[in-house]
Structure 1
Amino acid sequence: MDVSDYTEALWALLPPGPAWSREDPVLTAWVAVAARRMAAIDVALQRLLAEADPYTALAMLPDWEASLGLPDSCSVATPTLAERRAALVARLTDAGGARLARFVQIATALGYPGASTQRFAAHSCELSCEAPLYSEDWRFSWRLKVPDAVNAKDSTCESGVEDPLSAWGNSQLSCIMARECPQPSTVLISYGA
């Protein structure tokens, strides 16, 4: 409702008679102020409804984050508003678990569509000769393959001696995968095809 709606509602609520005349400037001013205030409260209530949804929260965003333990050690240093909202939604909708499909979903939510997983099986005599050799120690290891190398940087002539020849990866993805993977397992992340 807007100011005119509240003005009409207030006039309709007043009892009839000469004591409540619409020509009275004091009463008219009071109704106008009350109608503006009610319209402002109406707008504030509409905004409050939007704050109840993490997809649209703005004023309540710090409260949402505090209640869900965000930002955490895996958060980016200066996240955008969209990244903060996405982190809230991810925290609220993540059911947890140790299924490999869950880790593909996490990678997809972090901007890596097309991610896949690979398990490492111990070598046995039933495998083909071309099968890689993995010991029993590899049974708790698995790989998350993401299709694109992110933040890939090659060394240049201006690079220091201590700088790597090539560097890539996403520290947020690595942190979240390390935090979320089952305790006895090890996740390896490979970037690119």
Structure 2
Amino acid sequence: MSGLGNQLRLLLPPVSYDGSAPNLSAAIEAEANALNLSDAQADEVYGAIFPDSGQALSDWERVLALPDPCLIGVSQSVGQRVQAVISKMQGRGGQSKPFFIALAKSLGYDITITTFRPPRAGLARAGDPLYGGDWAFTWRVNAPAVTVSYARAGIAGAGDPLAAWGNKSLECRLSQMKPAESILLFGYGDN
């Protein structure tokens, strides 16, 4: 007898029905099992609503057209795939430094951004770098030399590595999201 079955038995009128009768008990247990199954399915649906749960990951990837074309053939852990889904959902647009820093953070990278401006009379000082031509449209993402993505309990899948290194997903996503007229450089090392 299940816990929910016992609760259903308590709802029977005490004099009219015997909850321990074989046929009635079987019917109550069947109803309890159906309610338990329905509750479990509702939990799965609720979990699938949030992409960071890792549930229904293949559906999220299908809807968001993931993996990105520049990452096809690159092995990614379940955690990295979840980060890609979250990043793509948060990255609906923007061209500011804070937008790109937050986008990188959603992928698991801590970055800074350096912009280059051409010298202007009255603003430039002796010793300032002279950036001309296309440097006005160039910006550099400064990231640590090594970014490690660790597996997380509850998200990692069977066969996933415990840690993964690499910056391919950072370069791919930021290159896709950068303004079309800009030139994006990546600098790795001291951030």
State TM-score, norm by structure 1.
0.74
Structure 1 residue 140: deviation in Å? Answer: 0.8
* 2:115 pairs with 1:119: yes
Structure 1 residue 185: deviation in Å? Answer: 0.6
Q: 1:44 aligns with which of 33, 37, 41?
A: 41
* 2:141 pairs with 1:141: no
| 2:62 corresponding residue in structure 1 | 66
- Aligned Cα root-mean-square deviation (Å): 2.6
Identify if the C-alpha distance between structure 1 residues 27 and 124 changes in structure 2 by more than 3 Å, giving closer, same or farther: closer
**Would the aligned equivalents of 2:116 and 2:139 in 1 still touch at CA under 8 Å?**
yes
Separation in 1, partners of 2:100, 2:42: 39
Q: Deviations over 1:138-171 (max 9, x none)?
A: 211111112x2138xxxxxxxxxxxxxxxxx722
| 2:2 corresponding residue in structure 1 | 3
* 2:54 pairs with 1:80: no
Percent of residue pairs bearing the same amino acid type: 27
State TM-score, norm by structure 2.
0.75
Greater Rg by CA: 1
Q: Could you tell me which amino acid in structure 1 is paired with residue 90 of structure 2?
A: T
* 2:18 pairs with 1:21: yes
Q: Pick 1 or 2: higher relative contact order, CA cutoff 8 A, min separation 6.
A: 2
The alignment covers a number of residue pairs equal to 170
Deviation larger for 180-189 or 21-30? 21-30
| 2:159 corresponding residue in structure 1 | none
Structure 1 residue 99: deviation in Å? Answer: 0.9
Identify if the C-alpha distance between structure 1 residues 45 and 8 changes in structure 2 by more than 3 Å, giving closer, same or farther: same
**Would the aligned equivalents of 1:6 and 1:39 in 2 still touch at CA under 8 Å?**
no
Q: Could you tell me which amino acid in structure 1 is paired with residue 2 of structure 2?
A: V
**Would the aligned equivalents of 1:118 and 1:144 in 2 still touch at CA under 8 Å?**
yes
Q: Could you tell me which amino acid in structure 2 is paired with residue 69 of structure 1?
A: A
Q: Deviations over 1:68-106 (max 9, x none)?
A: 222222447232222222222222222411112212222
The unaligned stretches of length 5 or more in structure 1 are 152-168
Identify if the C-alpha distance between structure 1 residues 179 and 54 changes in structure 2 by more than 3 Å, giving closer, same or farther: same
Q: Could you tell me which amino acid in structure 1 is paired with residue 3 of structure 2?
A: S
Identify if the C-alpha distance between structure 1 residues 112 and 38 changes in structure 2 by more than 3 Å, giving closer, same or farther: closer
The unaligned stretches of length 5 or more in structure 2 are 148-165
**Structure 1 runs of 4+ with >6 Å offset:** none
SS in 2 for 1:55: helix
